[in-house]
C-alpha cells in the first residue's frame, strides 16, 4: 500500500514518533505499554518528515507466537509503515521532491495495520494542512474525504482490528509492495548519474 501527501512543508509536525504510534495502534495492550520498533526518531519526524514504525505483535500478544502462525513464516506480523519524501530514498536523502509518501512493506496488509496506515496519513496530512492521493498523484482528496472513504476501517477499535488480524494472517498472501523494487531501481539509476553520497562522517577519512 502507498499514498502521497501534498502539504505546506513550511509547517512542522509537532508530535513525536511514540505519540504517533499510539494513535496508529494503541497506547497499551494487555495491561502493558505497546512495544514498537522504529527507524528514525522525534527529530527526523519533526525536521525531515521521516519515520518508519511497526508494532511488535509477538511481544504485545503471545498469540502471535502460536505455532500455527509461526509456521506460516509470514512477515505480515512485522508490517513496517514508512513516511518519507518521495525522492529521499532514491537520492540517499539528498533530494526531497514535491510530496511525502507513506508506504507499507506489503501490498495487502492486515486490518490492524491498514487502520494504522490510514491514521498515520490523517495525522500527518492534518499537521501539514495537506491533501492525500491514493492513485499515484492523479487525484487528490481532503482529509475529511479520506476519513469518509475509509470509515469502515477507521471506525474499528484497535482491539477489533487486532482480533481480525489474528485470523487474516492465515488468508492474506505475504507479497512485498512493488514500490520497494521500483525505488531500488530508481536509486540505482540515480547513483549512476550522481554517484554515491559521501556522508559527513566519511569526509575525514
pLDDT tens per residue across span 5-14: 999 999 999 9
Q: How far apart are CA 195 and CA 89, in angstroms?
A: 14
* Tally: H helices and E strands in the chain: 9, 8
> What sign does the dihedral 133-135-141-145 (CA atoms) show?
negative
- What pLDDT sits at residue 196? 84
Q: How many CB atoms lie within 10 A of CB 114?
A: 23
Q: How far apart are CA 132 and CA 151, in angstroms?
A: 15
Q: Is residue 199 part of a domain?
A: no
C-alpha cell at 183: 525505488
Residue 25's Cα: distance from chain center in Å? Answer: 12
pLDDT tens per residue across span 39-81: 999 999 999 999 999 989 999 999 999 999 999 989 998 899 9
Average pLDDT rounded to a whole number, residues 189-203: 77
Q: Is residue 135 part of a domain?
A: yes
C-alpha cell at 57: 505483535
Q: How far apart are CA 9 and CA 86, in angstroms?
A: 13
Q: For the ranges 12-21, 87-96, 97-106, 196-205, which has the lowest average pLDDT?
A: 196-205
140-144, long-range: CB within 8 Å, 24+ apart, which pairs? Answer: 140/6
Q: Is residue 200 part of a domain?
A: no
pLDDT of residue 181 exceeding 60: yes
Q: What is the DSSP string of 139-179?
A: S-B-HHHHHHHTHHHHTS-HHHHHHHHHHHTTTS---B-HH
- This prediction has a pTM of 0.94
Q: How far apart are CA 121 and CA 127, in angstroms?
A: 10
Q: Is residue 202 part of a domain?
A: no
Number of domains in the chain: 1
Q: Is residue 205 part of a domain?
A: no
Q: Is residue 203 part of a domain?
A: no
Task: Find the domain containing 185 and state its range.
Answer: 2-192
Amino acid at each position: 500500500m502507498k499514498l502521497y501527501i501534498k502539504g505546506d512543508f513550511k509547517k512542522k509536525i509537532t508530535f513525536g514518533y511514540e505519540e504517533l504510534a499510539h494513535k496508529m495502534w494503541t497506547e497499551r495492550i494487555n495491561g502493558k505499554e505497546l512495544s514498537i520498533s522504529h527507524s528514525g526518531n522525534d527529530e527526523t519526524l519533526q525536521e525531515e518528515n521521516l519515520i518508519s514504525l511497526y508494532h511488535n505483535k509477538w511481544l504485545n500478544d503471545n498469540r502471535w507466537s502460536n505455532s500455527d502462525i509461526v509456521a506460516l513464516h509470514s512477515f505480515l506480523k512485522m508490517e513496517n509503515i514508512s513516511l518519507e519524501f518521495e525522492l529521499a530514498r532514491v537520492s540517499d536523502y539528498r533530494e526531497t521532491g514535491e510530496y511525502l509518501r507513506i508506504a507499507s512493506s506489503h501490498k495487502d496488509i492486515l486490518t490492524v495495520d491498514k487502520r494504522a496506515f490510514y491514521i498515520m496519513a490523517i495525522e500527518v496530512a492534518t499537521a501539514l494542512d495537506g491533501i492525500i492521493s491514493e492513485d499515484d498523484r492523479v487525484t487528490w482528496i481532503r482529509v475529511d474525504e479520506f476519513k469518509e472513504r475509509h470509515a469502515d476501517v477507521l471506525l474499528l477499535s484497535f482491539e477489533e482490528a487486532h482480533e481480525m488480524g489474528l485470523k487474516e494472517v492465515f488468508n492474506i498472501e505475504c507479497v512485498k509492495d512493488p514500490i520497494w523494487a521500483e525505488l531500488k531501481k530508481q536509486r540505482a539509476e540515480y547513483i549512476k548519474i550522481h554517484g554515491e553520497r559521501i556522508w559527513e562522517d566519511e569526509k575525514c577519512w
